[in-house]
Structure 1
Amino acid sequence: MSVSTSTPDKGVAAVTVDFPPVNALPVQGWFDLAAAVRAAGRDPETRCVVLAADGRGFNAGVDIKEMQRDSGHSALIGANRGCYEAFSAVYECEVPVVAAVNGFCLGGGIGLVGNADAIVASEDATFGLPELDRGALGAATHLARLVPQHLMRALYYTSRTATAAELHAHGSVWRVVPPAELREAALELAREIAQKDGTLLRFAKAAINGIDPVDVHRSYRFEQGFTFEANLSGLADRVREGFGQESGKEEKAAKAAKEEKGRA
Protein backbone atom coordinates (compact mmCIF):
# COMPACT_ATOMS: atom_id res chain seq x y z
CA MET A 1 0.00 0.00 0.00
CA SER A 2 1.55 3.27 -1.05
CA VAL A 3 1.46 6.72 -2.58
CA SER A 4 4.41 7.14 -4.93
CA THR A 5 5.78 9.97 -7.06
CA SER A 6 7.66 9.65 -10.34
CA THR A 7 8.79 11.93 -13.16
CA PRO A 8 7.65 10.34 -16.45
CA ASP A 9 8.48 13.44 -18.50
CA LYS A 10 10.27 16.74 -18.10
CA GLY A 11 8.11 19.08 -16.05
CA VAL A 12 5.57 16.35 -15.24
CA ALA A 13 5.20 14.64 -11.85
CA ALA A 14 2.99 11.57 -11.54
CA VAL A 15 1.47 10.83 -8.12
CA THR A 16 0.16 7.26 -8.07
CA VAL A 17 -2.05 5.66 -5.43
CA ASP A 18 -1.94 1.91 -4.81
CA PHE A 19 -4.06 0.57 -1.93
CA PRO A 20 -5.33 -2.90 -2.91
CA PRO A 21 -7.85 -4.27 -3.42
CA VAL A 22 -10.04 -1.26 -4.36
CA ASN A 23 -8.05 1.86 -3.44
CA ALA A 24 -10.21 2.66 -0.42
CA LEU A 25 -7.76 4.82 1.51
CA PRO A 26 -7.11 4.53 5.24
CA VAL A 27 -6.70 7.72 7.25
CA GLN A 28 -2.93 7.88 6.82
CA GLY A 29 -3.31 7.23 3.09
CA TRP A 30 -5.25 10.46 2.62
CA PHE A 31 -2.59 12.46 4.44
CA ASP A 32 0.16 10.74 2.44
CA LEU A 33 -1.63 11.61 -0.78
CA ALA A 34 -2.00 15.23 0.29
CA ALA A 35 1.69 15.46 1.16
CA ALA A 36 2.75 13.93 -2.17
CA VAL A 37 0.61 16.29 -4.26
CA ARG A 38 1.77 19.36 -2.31
CA ALA A 39 5.42 18.34 -2.60
CA ALA A 40 5.09 17.77 -6.34
CA GLY A 41 3.48 21.16 -6.81
CA ARG A 42 6.17 22.94 -4.77
CA ASP A 43 8.98 21.49 -6.86
CA PRO A 44 10.13 24.34 -9.15
CA GLU A 45 10.83 21.80 -11.90
CA THR A 46 7.20 20.63 -11.95
CA ARG A 47 4.75 22.29 -14.30
CA CYS A 48 1.93 19.74 -14.20
CA VAL A 49 0.92 16.88 -11.88
CA VAL A 50 -0.82 13.71 -13.04
CA LEU A 51 -2.88 12.00 -10.34
CA ALA A 52 -3.41 8.31 -11.09
CA ALA A 53 -4.08 4.97 -9.43
CA ASP A 54 -3.01 1.37 -9.91
CA GLY A 55 -5.44 -1.52 -9.67
CA ARG A 56 -9.12 -2.05 -10.37
CA GLY A 57 -10.27 1.52 -9.90
CA PHE A 58 -9.19 5.08 -9.27
CA ASN A 59 -10.60 5.49 -5.77
CA ALA A 60 -13.33 3.85 -3.65
CA GLY A 61 -13.37 6.51 -0.94
CA VAL A 62 -12.47 5.95 2.70
CA ASP A 63 -11.64 2.61 4.28
CA ILE A 64 -14.96 1.81 5.96
CA LYS A 65 -13.49 -1.26 7.66
CA GLU A 66 -10.94 0.93 9.43
CA MET A 67 -13.74 3.04 10.88
CA GLN A 68 -15.74 -0.03 11.88
CA ARG A 69 -12.76 -1.32 13.88
CA ASP A 70 -12.65 1.94 15.85
CA SER A 71 -14.84 1.87 18.96
CA GLY A 72 -14.74 5.68 19.21
CA HIS A 73 -14.67 8.49 16.68
CA SER A 74 -10.95 8.96 16.08
CA ALA A 75 -11.03 7.14 12.72
CA LEU A 76 -14.01 9.19 11.57
CA ILE A 77 -12.33 12.43 12.58
CA GLY A 78 -9.13 11.28 10.91
CA ALA A 79 -10.93 10.39 7.69
CA ASN A 80 -12.74 13.74 7.68
CA ARG A 81 -9.50 15.64 8.13
CA GLY A 82 -7.56 13.41 5.76
CA CYS A 83 -10.07 13.81 2.95
CA TYR A 84 -10.18 17.55 3.51
CA GLU A 85 -6.39 17.71 3.30
CA ALA A 86 -6.18 15.58 0.15
CA PHE A 87 -8.95 17.44 -1.67
CA SER A 88 -7.39 20.77 -0.66
CA ALA A 89 -3.94 19.64 -1.79
CA VAL A 90 -5.26 18.93 -5.28
CA TYR A 91 -7.11 22.24 -5.45
CA GLU A 92 -4.23 24.26 -4.00
CA CYS A 93 -1.47 22.48 -5.93
CA GLU A 94 0.70 25.25 -7.34
CA VAL A 95 0.49 23.80 -10.85
CA PRO A 96 -2.38 22.20 -12.81
CA VAL A 97 -3.44 18.68 -11.81
CA VAL A 98 -4.65 16.18 -14.41
CA ALA A 99 -6.61 13.23 -12.99
CA ALA A 100 -6.27 9.93 -14.88
CA VAL A 101 -9.39 7.99 -13.87
CA ASN A 102 -9.72 4.24 -14.39
CA GLY A 103 -12.63 2.06 -13.29
CA PHE A 104 -14.64 3.28 -10.34
CA CYS A 105 -14.31 6.78 -8.92
CA LEU A 106 -16.51 6.89 -5.83
CA GLY A 107 -16.90 8.96 -2.67
CA GLY A 108 -13.54 10.49 -1.90
CA GLY A 109 -12.52 9.89 -5.49
CA ILE A 110 -15.09 12.49 -6.54
CA GLY A 111 -13.49 14.93 -4.10
CA LEU A 112 -10.13 14.42 -5.79
CA VAL A 113 -11.23 14.68 -9.43
CA GLY A 114 -13.74 17.43 -8.69
CA ASN A 115 -10.87 19.59 -7.45
CA ALA A 116 -8.53 18.61 -10.29
CA ASP A 117 -7.92 20.96 -13.20
CA ALA A 118 -8.60 18.40 -15.93
CA ILE A 119 -9.81 14.80 -16.15
CA VAL A 120 -8.88 12.08 -18.61
CA ALA A 121 -10.90 8.89 -18.13
CA SER A 122 -10.93 5.34 -19.42
CA GLU A 123 -14.03 4.01 -21.15
CA ASP A 124 -14.84 1.84 -18.14
CA ALA A 125 -14.70 4.73 -15.65
CA THR A 126 -17.77 5.47 -13.52
CA PHE A 127 -18.28 8.38 -11.17
CA GLY A 128 -20.61 8.58 -8.18
CA LEU A 129 -21.33 9.31 -4.55
CA PRO A 130 -22.81 6.27 -2.77
CA GLU A 131 -22.66 8.24 0.48
CA LEU A 132 -26.33 7.91 1.42
CA ASP A 133 -26.02 4.12 1.17
CA ARG A 134 -23.03 4.26 3.50
CA GLY A 135 -24.55 6.46 6.18
CA ALA A 136 -22.41 9.42 5.18
CA LEU A 137 -22.58 12.77 3.41
CA GLY A 138 -20.06 14.87 1.57
CA ALA A 139 -18.38 15.73 -1.77
CA ALA A 140 -21.55 17.14 -3.31
CA THR A 141 -19.35 20.23 -3.50
CA HIS A 142 -17.09 18.39 -5.91
CA LEU A 143 -19.75 16.47 -7.85
CA ALA A 144 -21.36 19.86 -8.58
CA ARG A 145 -18.14 20.79 -10.39
CA LEU A 146 -18.60 17.81 -12.73
CA VAL A 147 -22.30 17.88 -13.65
CA PRO A 148 -25.16 20.42 -13.69
CA GLN A 149 -26.96 21.16 -10.43
CA HIS A 150 -30.09 19.08 -10.91
CA LEU A 151 -28.19 16.07 -12.20
CA MET A 152 -25.85 16.35 -9.22
CA ARG A 153 -28.82 16.24 -6.87
CA ALA A 154 -30.42 13.24 -8.62
CA LEU A 155 -27.13 11.31 -8.59
CA TYR A 156 -26.56 12.20 -4.94
CA TYR A 157 -30.04 11.21 -3.74
CA THR A 158 -30.09 7.92 -5.68
CA SER A 159 -26.42 6.94 -5.24
CA ARG A 160 -26.31 6.23 -8.97
CA THR A 161 -23.17 6.63 -11.04
CA ALA A 162 -22.40 8.47 -14.27
CA THR A 163 -20.16 7.11 -17.00
CA ALA A 164 -17.06 8.76 -18.40
CA ALA A 165 -18.92 9.29 -21.67
CA GLU A 166 -21.73 11.12 -19.85
CA LEU A 167 -19.30 13.41 -18.07
CA HIS A 168 -17.50 14.04 -21.35
CA ALA A 169 -20.84 15.15 -22.80
CA HIS A 170 -21.17 17.63 -19.93
CA GLY A 171 -17.69 18.97 -20.63
CA SER A 172 -16.05 17.94 -17.36
CA VAL A 173 -13.95 15.09 -18.82
CA TRP A 174 -11.32 16.14 -21.35
CA ARG A 175 -10.96 12.79 -23.13
CA VAL A 176 -12.34 9.26 -22.87
CA VAL A 177 -9.95 6.56 -24.06
CA PRO A 178 -9.57 2.77 -23.92
CA PRO A 179 -8.17 1.60 -20.55
CA ALA A 180 -4.82 0.64 -22.06
CA GLU A 181 -4.35 4.17 -23.38
CA LEU A 182 -5.32 6.06 -20.21
CA ARG A 183 -1.89 6.86 -18.76
CA GLU A 184 -0.47 7.97 -22.10
CA ALA A 185 -3.51 10.17 -22.79
CA ALA A 186 -3.16 11.84 -19.40
CA LEU A 187 0.57 12.32 -19.94
CA GLU A 188 -0.08 13.77 -23.38
CA LEU A 189 -2.24 16.51 -21.87
CA ALA A 190 0.24 17.04 -19.03
CA ARG A 191 3.12 17.40 -21.52
CA GLU A 192 1.20 20.05 -23.45
CA ILE A 193 0.55 22.00 -20.26
CA ALA A 194 4.17 21.57 -19.13
CA GLN A 195 5.40 23.32 -22.27
CA LYS A 196 4.17 26.62 -20.85
CA ASP A 197 6.29 28.86 -18.66
CA GLY A 198 6.39 27.43 -15.13
CA THR A 199 5.98 30.75 -13.33
CA LEU A 200 3.14 31.82 -15.57
CA LEU A 201 1.39 28.49 -14.98
CA ARG A 202 1.54 29.10 -11.25
CA PHE A 203 0.07 32.56 -11.75
CA ALA A 204 -2.66 31.06 -13.91
CA LYS A 205 -3.58 28.42 -11.31
CA ALA A 206 -3.78 31.02 -8.54
CA ALA A 207 -5.81 33.36 -10.74
CA ILE A 208 -8.34 30.70 -11.77
CA ASN A 209 -8.78 29.53 -8.17
CA GLY A 210 -9.27 33.14 -7.14
CA ILE A 211 -12.28 33.62 -9.42
CA ASP A 212 -14.05 30.38 -8.45
CA PRO A 213 -17.72 31.11 -7.64
CA VAL A 214 -17.76 28.57 -4.77
CA ASP A 215 -15.33 28.34 -1.87
CA VAL A 216 -14.68 24.59 -2.06
CA HIS A 217 -12.98 24.50 1.35
CA ARG A 218 -15.85 26.08 3.27
CA SER A 219 -18.49 24.24 1.24
CA TYR A 220 -17.01 20.79 1.82
CA ARG A 221 -16.32 21.47 5.49
CA PHE A 222 -20.00 22.39 5.89
CA GLU A 223 -21.02 19.04 4.39
CA GLN A 224 -18.66 17.16 6.71
CA GLY A 225 -20.50 18.52 9.73
CA PHE A 226 -23.60 16.55 8.75
CA THR A 227 -21.57 13.38 8.28
CA PHE A 228 -20.28 13.69 11.82
CA GLU A 229 -23.78 14.40 13.14
CA ALA A 230 -25.13 11.27 11.40
CA ASN A 231 -22.40 9.20 13.06
CA LEU A 232 -22.84 10.70 16.53
CA SER A 233 -26.59 10.06 16.43
CA GLY A 234 -26.13 6.39 15.47
CA LEU A 235 -27.96 6.95 12.18
CA ALA A 236 -24.88 6.14 10.09
CA ASP A 237 -24.42 2.75 11.76
CA ARG A 238 -28.06 1.82 11.19
CA VAL A 239 -27.87 2.77 7.51
CA ARG A 240 -24.61 0.89 6.97
CA GLU A 241 -26.01 -2.18 8.70
CA GLY A 242 -29.12 -2.12 6.53
CA PHE A 243 -27.07 -1.60 3.38
CA GLY A 244 -24.84 -4.52 4.30
CA GLN A 245 -27.84 -6.81 4.73
CA GLU A 246 -29.32 -5.73 1.38
CA SER A 247 -25.97 -6.19 -0.37
CA GLY A 248 -25.71 -9.67 1.11
CA LYS A 249 -29.15 -10.57 -0.22
CA GLU A 250 -28.26 -9.24 -3.67
CA GLU A 251 -25.03 -11.24 -3.74
CA LYS A 252 -26.86 -14.42 -2.74
CA ALA A 253 -29.55 -13.81 -5.38
CA ALA A 254 -26.92 -13.20 -8.07
CA LYS A 255 -25.06 -16.36 -7.05
CA ALA A 256 -28.25 -18.41 -7.11
CA ALA A 257 -29.17 -17.06 -10.53
CA LYS A 258 -25.72 -17.93 -11.85
CA GLU A 259 -25.97 -21.47 -10.48
CA GLU A 260 -29.46 -21.88 -11.94
CA LYS A 261 -28.19 -20.71 -15.31
CA GLY A 262 -25.37 -23.23 -15.11
CA ARG A 263 -27.81 -26.07 -14.49
CA ALA A 264 -30.03 -25.03 -17.39
Structure 2
Amino acid sequence: MGITSTSDSAGITTVTVDFPPVNALPSQAWFDLADAVLTAGKDPKTHVVILRAEGRGFNAGVDIKEMQATEGYEALIAANHGCAAAFAAVYDCEVPVIVAVNGFCVGGGIGLVGNADVILASDDAIFGLPEVDRGALGAATHLARLVPQHLMRTLYYTAQNVTAQQLEHFGSVYKVVPRDELDAAAREVAEMIAVKDTRVIRRAKEAINRIDPVDVKTSYRIEQGFTFELNLAGVADEHRDEFVATGKARTNS
Protein backbone atom coordinates (compact mmCIF):
# COMPACT_ATOMS: atom_id res chain seq x y z
CA MET A 1 0.00 0.00 0.00
CA GLY A 2 1.17 3.56 -0.72
CA ILE A 3 3.32 4.84 -3.57
CA THR A 4 5.71 2.30 -5.10
CA SER A 5 8.12 2.42 -8.02
CA THR A 6 9.63 -0.39 -10.10
CA SER A 7 12.09 -0.11 -12.96
CA ASP A 8 13.16 -2.61 -15.60
CA SER A 9 15.93 -3.10 -18.13
CA ALA A 10 13.78 -1.60 -20.91
CA GLY A 11 14.03 1.84 -19.29
CA ILE A 12 10.42 1.85 -18.07
CA THR A 13 9.66 2.97 -14.51
CA THR A 14 6.19 2.17 -13.22
CA VAL A 15 4.81 4.25 -10.36
CA THR A 16 1.81 2.63 -8.67
CA VAL A 17 -0.70 4.30 -6.34
CA ASP A 18 -2.48 2.05 -3.83
CA PHE A 19 -4.57 3.68 -1.09
CA PRO A 20 -7.68 1.54 -0.45
CA PRO A 21 -10.56 1.74 -0.69
CA VAL A 22 -10.80 4.44 -3.40
CA ASN A 23 -7.33 6.00 -3.76
CA ALA A 24 -8.33 9.23 -2.03
CA LEU A 25 -4.84 10.39 -1.12
CA PRO A 26 -3.84 11.85 2.26
CA SER A 27 -1.73 14.98 2.11
CA GLN A 28 1.68 13.32 2.46
CA ALA A 29 0.90 10.86 -0.33
CA TRP A 30 0.68 13.69 -2.87
CA PHE A 31 4.20 14.77 -1.94
CA ASP A 32 5.38 11.15 -2.07
CA LEU A 33 3.87 10.77 -5.52
CA ALA A 34 5.59 13.94 -6.70
CA ASP A 35 8.91 12.68 -5.40
CA ALA A 36 8.50 9.27 -7.05
CA VAL A 37 7.73 10.75 -10.47
CA LEU A 38 10.50 13.38 -10.36
CA THR A 39 13.04 10.87 -9.08
CA ALA A 40 12.20 8.50 -11.91
CA GLY A 41 12.67 11.24 -14.49
CA LYS A 42 16.05 12.27 -13.10
CA ASP A 43 17.39 8.73 -13.41
CA PRO A 44 19.24 8.52 -16.76
CA LYS A 45 18.26 4.85 -16.99
CA THR A 46 14.57 5.79 -17.09
CA HIS A 47 13.26 6.51 -20.58
CA VAL A 48 9.54 6.71 -19.78
CA VAL A 49 7.24 6.57 -16.73
CA ILE A 50 3.94 4.74 -16.40
CA LEU A 51 1.64 6.07 -13.67
CA ARG A 52 -1.05 3.58 -12.67
CA ALA A 53 -3.19 2.58 -9.69
CA GLU A 54 -4.41 -0.53 -7.94
CA GLY A 55 -7.97 -1.02 -6.77
CA ARG A 56 -11.39 0.21 -7.77
CA GLY A 57 -10.29 3.41 -9.46
CA PHE A 58 -7.31 5.49 -10.51
CA ASN A 59 -7.80 8.41 -8.15
CA ALA A 60 -10.57 9.91 -5.99
CA GLY A 61 -8.78 13.15 -5.18
CA VAL A 62 -7.83 14.33 -1.70
CA ASP A 63 -8.80 12.57 1.52
CA ILE A 64 -11.62 14.82 2.70
CA LYS A 65 -12.06 12.84 5.93
CA GLU A 66 -8.45 13.62 6.86
CA MET A 67 -9.09 17.29 6.18
CA GLN A 68 -12.23 17.46 8.29
CA ALA A 69 -10.62 15.57 11.18
CA THR A 70 -7.84 18.18 11.45
CA GLU A 71 -8.25 21.43 13.38
CA GLY A 72 -7.50 24.66 11.57
CA TYR A 73 -6.23 24.90 8.01
CA GLU A 74 -3.08 22.78 8.26
CA ALA A 75 -4.49 19.76 6.41
CA LEU A 76 -6.15 21.94 3.76
CA ILE A 77 -2.93 23.82 3.04
CA ALA A 78 -0.94 20.57 2.97
CA ALA A 79 -3.40 18.97 0.55
CA ASN A 80 -3.34 21.98 -1.76
CA HIS A 81 0.45 22.16 -1.75
CA GLY A 82 0.69 18.40 -2.21
CA CYS A 83 -1.65 18.41 -5.19
CA ALA A 84 0.25 21.28 -6.78
CA ALA A 85 3.50 19.37 -6.29
CA ALA A 86 2.17 16.13 -7.75
CA PHE A 87 0.55 17.79 -10.77
CA ALA A 88 3.73 19.75 -11.45
CA ALA A 89 5.86 16.62 -11.09
CA VAL A 90 3.96 14.86 -13.87
CA TYR A 91 4.39 17.92 -16.07
CA ASP A 92 8.04 18.55 -15.16
CA CYS A 93 9.19 14.93 -15.20
CA GLU A 94 12.18 14.84 -17.53
CA VAL A 95 10.73 11.93 -19.52
CA PRO A 96 7.23 11.33 -20.89
CA VAL A 97 4.62 10.20 -18.37
CA ILE A 98 1.95 7.73 -19.49
CA VAL A 99 -1.12 7.42 -17.27
CA ALA A 100 -3.21 4.25 -17.20
CA VAL A 101 -6.63 5.19 -15.84
CA ASN A 102 -8.78 2.42 -14.40
CA GLY A 103 -12.33 3.06 -13.18
CA PHE A 104 -12.85 6.54 -11.78
CA CYS A 105 -10.56 9.54 -12.10
CA VAL A 106 -11.99 12.50 -10.22
CA GLY A 107 -10.81 15.61 -8.41
CA GLY A 108 -7.05 15.52 -8.03
CA GLY A 109 -6.88 12.65 -10.48
CA ILE A 110 -7.79 15.11 -13.24
CA GLY A 111 -4.77 17.21 -12.30
CA LEU A 112 -2.47 14.22 -12.75
CA VAL A 113 -4.02 13.07 -16.00
CA GLY A 114 -4.38 16.54 -17.50
CA ASN A 115 -0.64 17.13 -17.08
CA ALA A 116 0.39 13.73 -18.48
CA ASP A 117 1.90 13.12 -21.90
CA VAL A 118 -0.12 10.06 -22.94
CA ILE A 119 -3.45 8.85 -21.53
CA LEU A 120 -4.86 5.34 -21.77
CA ALA A 121 -8.07 4.31 -20.04
CA SER A 122 -10.15 1.26 -19.26
CA ASP A 123 -13.52 1.03 -20.98
CA ASP A 124 -15.27 1.66 -17.64
CA ALA A 125 -13.25 4.78 -16.81
CA ILE A 126 -14.95 8.08 -15.99
CA PHE A 127 -13.40 11.49 -15.46
CA GLY A 128 -14.82 14.42 -13.52
CA LEU A 129 -14.43 17.29 -11.10
CA PRO A 130 -16.83 17.23 -8.13
CA GLU A 131 -15.07 20.30 -6.69
CA VAL A 132 -18.12 22.60 -6.60
CA ASP A 133 -20.00 19.91 -4.69
CA ARG A 134 -17.23 19.95 -2.07
CA GLY A 135 -17.12 23.73 -1.70
CA ALA A 136 -13.81 23.95 -3.54
CA LEU A 137 -12.33 24.93 -6.88
CA GLY A 138 -9.40 23.58 -8.85
CA ALA A 139 -8.15 21.50 -11.80
CA ALA A 140 -10.26 23.34 -14.38
CA THR A 141 -6.80 24.08 -15.76
CA HIS A 142 -6.29 20.37 -16.34
CA LEU A 143 -9.82 19.46 -17.41
CA ALA A 144 -9.47 22.11 -20.12
CA ARG A 145 -6.62 20.03 -21.55
CA LEU A 146 -8.96 17.05 -21.92
CA VAL A 147 -12.18 18.57 -23.33
CA PRO A 148 -13.23 21.64 -25.34
CA GLN A 149 -13.60 24.89 -23.41
CA HIS A 150 -17.39 25.06 -23.21
CA LEU A 151 -17.72 21.42 -22.28
CA MET A 152 -15.17 22.00 -19.54
CA ARG A 153 -17.33 24.79 -18.16
CA THR A 154 -20.47 22.67 -18.30
CA LEU A 155 -18.80 19.72 -16.59
CA TYR A 156 -17.25 22.01 -13.98
CA TYR A 157 -20.45 23.83 -13.01
CA THR A 158 -22.58 20.66 -12.96
CA ALA A 159 -19.96 18.28 -11.50
CA GLN A 160 -20.84 15.77 -14.20
CA ASN A 161 -18.47 13.09 -15.44
CA VAL A 162 -17.22 12.38 -18.94
CA THR A 163 -16.44 8.87 -20.20
CA ALA A 164 -13.20 7.47 -21.53
CA GLN A 165 -14.92 6.94 -24.88
CA GLN A 166 -15.84 10.64 -25.06
CA LEU A 167 -12.27 11.64 -24.32
CA GLU A 168 -11.00 9.22 -26.95
CA HIS A 169 -13.33 10.99 -29.40
CA PHE A 170 -11.78 14.34 -28.48
CA GLY A 171 -8.31 12.86 -28.93
CA SER A 172 -7.14 13.45 -25.36
CA VAL A 173 -7.27 9.73 -24.50
CA TYR A 174 -5.02 7.77 -26.83
CA LYS A 175 -6.71 4.41 -26.44
CA VAL A 176 -9.60 2.79 -24.52
CA VAL A 177 -9.26 -0.90 -23.70
CA PRO A 178 -10.89 -3.48 -21.40
CA ARG A 179 -9.66 -3.09 -17.84
CA ASP A 180 -7.74 -6.37 -17.87
CA GLU A 181 -5.78 -5.14 -20.91
CA LEU A 182 -4.95 -1.68 -19.56
CA ASP A 183 -1.51 -2.39 -18.14
CA ALA A 184 -0.44 -4.21 -21.29
CA ALA A 185 -1.68 -1.35 -23.48
CA ALA A 186 0.24 1.21 -21.40
CA ARG A 187 3.31 -1.00 -21.56
CA GLU A 188 3.03 -1.21 -25.35
CA VAL A 189 3.12 2.57 -25.73
CA ALA A 190 5.90 2.85 -23.14
CA GLU A 191 8.04 0.40 -25.10
CA MET A 192 7.53 2.44 -28.29
CA ILE A 193 8.95 5.49 -26.48
CA ALA A 194 11.62 3.64 -24.51
CA VAL A 195 13.44 2.41 -27.62
CA LYS A 196 13.96 5.99 -28.85
CA ASP A 197 17.14 7.88 -28.03
CA THR A 198 16.36 9.16 -24.53
CA ARG A 199 18.57 12.21 -25.10
CA VAL A 200 16.23 13.29 -27.88
CA ILE A 201 13.04 12.37 -26.02
CA ARG A 202 14.10 14.33 -22.95
CA ARG A 203 14.71 17.43 -25.06
CA ALA A 204 11.40 16.83 -26.82
CA LYS A 205 9.57 16.82 -23.46
CA GLU A 206 11.27 20.06 -22.47
CA ALA A 207 10.56 21.66 -25.83
CA ILE A 208 6.88 20.74 -25.80
CA ASN A 209 6.50 22.14 -22.28
CA ARG A 210 8.21 25.36 -23.28
CA ILE A 211 5.82 25.97 -26.19
CA ASP A 212 2.72 25.09 -24.14
CA PRO A 213 0.21 27.95 -24.52
CA VAL A 214 -0.90 27.60 -20.87
CA ASP A 215 1.30 27.95 -17.78
CA VAL A 216 -0.40 25.09 -15.97
CA LYS A 217 1.28 25.70 -12.61
CA THR A 218 0.37 29.39 -12.40
CA SER A 219 -3.13 28.72 -13.74
CA TYR A 220 -3.78 26.06 -11.10
CA ARG A 221 -2.38 28.28 -8.36
CA ILE A 222 -4.89 30.99 -9.29
CA GLU A 223 -7.70 28.44 -8.91
CA GLN A 224 -6.37 27.45 -5.50
CA GLY A 225 -6.58 31.05 -4.36
CA PHE A 226 -10.34 30.98 -4.79
CA THR A 227 -10.49 27.70 -2.88
CA PHE A 228 -8.74 29.35 0.06
CA GLU A 229 -11.26 32.19 -0.14
CA LEU A 230 -14.18 29.75 0.11
CA ASN A 231 -12.51 28.12 3.11
CA LEU A 232 -11.96 31.40 4.91
CA ALA A 233 -15.63 32.23 4.34
CA GLY A 234 -16.67 28.92 5.92
CA VAL A 235 -18.45 27.77 2.77
CA ALA A 236 -16.11 24.87 2.07
CA ASP A 237 -16.49 23.37 5.55
CA GLU A 238 -20.26 23.26 5.13
CA HIS A 239 -19.92 21.20 1.97
CA ARG A 240 -17.17 18.91 3.25
CA ASP A 241 -19.01 18.24 6.52
CA GLU A 242 -22.12 17.27 4.56
CA PHE A 243 -20.10 14.93 2.35
CA VAL A 244 -18.37 13.25 5.30
CA ALA A 245 -21.69 12.83 7.13
CA THR A 246 -23.85 11.63 4.24
CA GLY A 247 -21.58 10.88 1.30
CA LYS A 248 -23.69 13.26 -0.76
CA ALA A 249 -23.29 16.77 -2.08
CA ARG A 250 -24.88 19.66 -0.20
CA THR A 251 -27.65 21.47 -2.09
CA ASN A 252 -29.56 24.71 -1.62
CA SER A 253 -32.84 22.88 -1.06
How would you bin the TM-score normalised by the shorter chain? over 0.9
Match of 1:85, SS state, is helix
SS in 2 for 1:146: coil
SS state at 2:208 partner: helix
Q: Distance in 1 between matches of 2:104 and 2:25?
A: 14
SS at match of 2:4: strand
The whole-number CA distance in structure 1 between the counterparts of 2:239 and 2:108 is: 19
1:162 alignment partner, SS class: strand
Partner in structure 1 of residue 96 of structure 2 = 96
State yes or no: 1:42 paired with 2:42: yes
Query: What TM-score results when the alignment is normalised by the length of structure 2?
Result: 0.96
Is 1:195 matched with 2:187? no
User: Normalized against structure 1, the TM-score is what?
Assistant: 0.92
Distance 2:181 2:116 in 1: 20
Verify: 1:145 aligned to 2:145, yes or no. Answer: yes
2:216 is aligned to: 216
Give me the CA root mean square deviation.
Answer: 1.3
Aligned length: 249
Q: Give ranges in structure 2 of 5+ residues lacking alignment.
A: none
Q: How many percent identity over aligned positions?
A: 65
Q: Give how far 1:238 is off.
A: 1.8
Given that 1:120 and 1:175 are in contact with CA atoms closer than 8 Å, whether structure 2 keeps it comes out as yes
Aligned match of 2:63: 63
| 1:100–1:183 contact (8 Å) kept in structure 2 | yes
Opposite residue 86 of structure 1, the aligned amino acid is A
Report if aligned partners of 1:99, 1:113 keep a CA contact under 8 Å in 2.
Answer: yes
Q: Which has the larger radius of gyration?
A: 1
Quote how far apart the aligned CAs of 1:7 are: 1.9
Matched residue SS, 2:173: coil
Describe the superposition over 1:141-200 as per-residue Cα deviations: whole angstroms up to 9, x where unpaired.
Answer: 000000000000000000000000000000000000000000000010010011110110
Q: 1:167 maps to what in 2? A: 167
Matching residue of 1:229: 229
Change (3 A) 1:191 1:218: same
Give the drift of 1:241: 3.8
**Equivalent pair of 1:6/1:14 in contact (CA under 8 Å):** yes
- Structure 1: which 5+ runs fail to align? 250-264
For residues 19-61 of structure 1, give each alpha carbon's deviation from its aligned partner in whole angstroms, at most 9, with x where no partner exists.
0110000011000000000000001011110000000000000
Shift of 1:8: 4.7
The runs of at least 4 aligned residues of structure 1 exceeding 2 Å deviation read: 239-249
Distance 2:103 2:8 in 1: 22
CA contact 1:9–1:191 (8 Å) conserved in 2: no
